[in-house]
Amino acid sequence: MADDLRKGRIVIVGASLAGLRAAETLREEGFTGSLTVVGDELRPPYDRPPLSKQVLLGQAAADATELPMRRDPDARWRLGVPATGLDPLGKRVMLADGDALPFDRLLIATGTRARPWPNAEEAALDGVFTLRTCDDAGLLAERLAAGPQRVLVIGGGFTGSEIASACREQGLEVTVTERGPAPLVGALGGTLSKLAAGMQRAHGVDLRCGVTVTALCGDGNGRFSGADLSDGSHVTADVCVVALGAVRNVEWLKDAGLAAGPRGIACDGGCRAFDMYGIVTDDVFVAGDVSRFPHPLFEYQLLSLEHWGNAVAQAEVAAHNMVNPGPLRRPHLALPTFWSSQFGLNIKAVGVPTFSDQIVLAQGSLEARRLAVVYGYRGRVTAAVTVNMAKSLEYYQHLIETAAPFPPAPGAADRTLAAELPLPSDVPDPKGLSHGPLVALTGHLPDRRLTMVRPG
Ligand SMILES: Cc1cc2nc3c(=O)[nH]c(=O)nc-3n(C[C@H](O)[C@H](O)[C@H](O)COP(=O)(O)OP(=O)(O)OC[C@H]3O[C@@H](n4cnc5c(N)ncnc54)[C@H](O)[C@@H]3O)c2cc1C
């Protein structure tokens, strides 16, 4: 059985971080069959985190971010060709060039793309950018290097904040608009978002919170010239970066009958995709940003993450499970971790900060810009975020993994500082971000009960 699984045909759709790491792991695990990796980008797999950091700062060329290969995955690469459909019964992936790739097992690792500005005409103005790909980063870096008068960044999440930081580091004037009360509030909650807001302003960012951009304006010659805001004001700028988050690349699966929607493709703890009825498949696996997976530490809620470390860990588990029989399969239990660098802050997180109702400042202080904040949910530790204090993170990781009581013992990490009283974590209610139900049930008799996809 195990030997059979090490042969046959495996197709991976998505030739980026998760796709590459899965391909390498398949070979490390002894897979000797045929391996095909399909990617709609022409470039070989490259790394995205440097795109909003070193590349925008001019410290690295956009096309010098290729991902190092841990070993030759001995794969057939089909680059520059999008997958357009999946036939789960016939076990074939359809490609845009008319080809169909038969498979025995499939890994879906199609990640996300930048959410575009909703008005296509405004988005097409010269000077309006998004940032997800190597080409996006190259074009934006070139425009920043030319010294624009002002850059408008729409969205104060991690990507928007890092772009603003890179602009200020190069002495460029920058305005950030954020719909919420402060930057990073959706990811880190109220307390740290205040620090983020303070740091942006201290570094000269014109930060506008509680407002949305209502229109991007052109100069009459197709060039971006500024934007109207919901508070009635106007920002004059010559570059605009739309940083409104990511959209999961699932449209190509619309007729595949999988549990795929705006939050990604749901899978079990072993990375096997669920079909639209919630029944687990055994030959379709998912990994990386496009997946939603249950984690026991977070009440088995399906997590949709956009973290580099998760893409790698999940790809490795998926690949292992694709070539091993049931009892030898592994769960994807890695704790989520992520990092960001902006405005001189080194932010690192472990756990799921949004899975919280309270926080405590466990070490350091906002004033010192060196701190550790611990997040708790119903009396146990669920996440920690450090700012310029990454060494403590391992300790908090242990607390999360052991479901340690919240708040943690005062000064537990370095025995110097007492934990302050817990505060509400002030993470926006995720229901507010909900996309609504995607399926409806039909029929009354038990064998007629079916789910059908609701029209969008
Ligand atoms: C600017 C930027 C900065 C970041 N910084 C950090 C950071 O500091 N820390 C951190 O933890 N994470 C960071 N991330 C997130 C991290 O890069 C992602 O978590 C990671 O890239 C996920 O890898 P993935 O392979 O799952 O998906 P992706 O990297 O999105 O790759 C998916 C690939 O599949 C392709 N594809 C999509 N649809 C199809 C199709 N139908 N057919 C064929 N191919 C298809 C896509 O074009 C893409 O090449 C950053 C991301 C960006 C964009």
Give the model confidence (pLDDT) of 202-229 as tens digits. Answer: 999 999 999 999 999 999 999 999 999 9
pLDDT for the residue 435: 44
- Residue 410: CATH number of its domain: 3.30.390.30
Cβ of 375 below 6 Å from ligand 1: no
Residue that terminates a domain, selected from 211, 244, 277? 244
pLDDT for the residue 365: 87
Q: Is residue 320, in this structure, part of any structural domain at all? A: yes
Do 136 and 150 belong to one domain? yes
| Nearest partner of 348 among 389, 376, 315, judged by Cα | 389
Q: Is residue 379, in this structure, part of any structural domain at all? A: yes
Q: Using the mean position of ligand 1's atoms as its centre, give its distance from the Cα of residue 42 in Å.
A: 14
pLDDT for the residue 191: 83
Cβ of 25 below 6 Å from ligand 1: no
pLDDT for the residue 444: 60
Cβ of 17 below 6 Å from ligand 1: yes
pLDDT for the residue 207: 98
Residue nearest atom 7 in ligand 1 by C-alpha distance: 49
What is the rounded CA–CA span in Å between residue 136 and residue 99? 29
Inter-residue contact 108 to 285 (CB < 8 Å): yes
SS3 assignment for 24-47: HHHHHCCCCCEEEEEECCCCCCEC
* Neighbouring C-beta atoms of residue 111, cutoff 10 Å: 24
Do 37 and 64 belong to one domain? yes
Do 14 and 106 belong to one domain? yes
Tally of domains within the chain: 3
**Structural domain boundaries enclosing 322:** 2-113+247-328
Cβ of 46 below 6 Å from ligand 1: no
pLDDT for the residue 449: 60
Do 319 and 399 belong to one domain? no
What is the rounded CA–CA span in Å between residue 166 and residue 344? 10
Cβ of 112 below 6 Å from ligand 1: yes
Q: Is residue 258, in this structure, part of any structural domain at all? A: yes
Q: Is residue 420, in this structure, part of any structural domain at all? A: yes
Cβ of 304 below 6 Å from ligand 1: no
Q: Which residues contact 176 (CB under 8 A, 6 or more apart)?
A: 153, 155, 156, 160, 161, 164, 183, 200, 205, 206, 207, 208
Q: Using the mean position of ligand 1's atoms as its centre, give its distance from the Cα of residue 182 in Å.
A: 25
pLDDT for the residue 456: 47
pLDDT for the residue 424: 83
Cβ of 54 below 6 Å from ligand 1: no
Cβ of 129 below 6 Å from ligand 1: no
Do 98 and 124 belong to one domain? no
What is the rounded CA–CA span in Å between residue 224 and residue 39? 32
Mutate to test the pocket of ligand 1, among 51, 248, 289 (most ligand atoms within 8 A of CB): 289
What is the rounded CA–CA span in Å between residue 101 and residue 342? 43
Cβ of 40 below 6 Å from ligand 1: yes
| Nearest partner of 182 among 204, 167, 201, judged by Cα | 201
Do 107 and 10 belong to one domain? yes
Residues of the chain whose pLDDT is less than 70? 1-2, 410-420, 429-456
Do 359 and 395 belong to one domain? yes
Mutate to test the pocket of ligand 1, among 13, 16, 305 (most ligand atoms within 8 A of CB): 16
Do 164 and 44 belong to one domain? no
Q: Is residue 205, in this structure, part of any structural domain at all? A: yes
Q: Is residue 373, in this structure, part of any structural domain at all? A: yes
Q: Is residue 208, in this structure, part of any structural domain at all? A: yes
pLDDT for the residue 163: 98
Mutate to test the pocket of ligand 1, among 249, 252, 267 (most ligand atoms within 8 A of CB): 249
- Residue 81: CATH number of its domain: 3.50.50.60
Q: Is residue 225, in this structure, part of any structural domain at all? A: yes
Q: Using the mean position of ligand 1's atoms as its centre, give its distance from the Cα of residue 423 in Å.
A: 34
Do 211 and 236 belong to one domain? yes
Residue that terminates a domain, selected from 328, 363, 383? 328
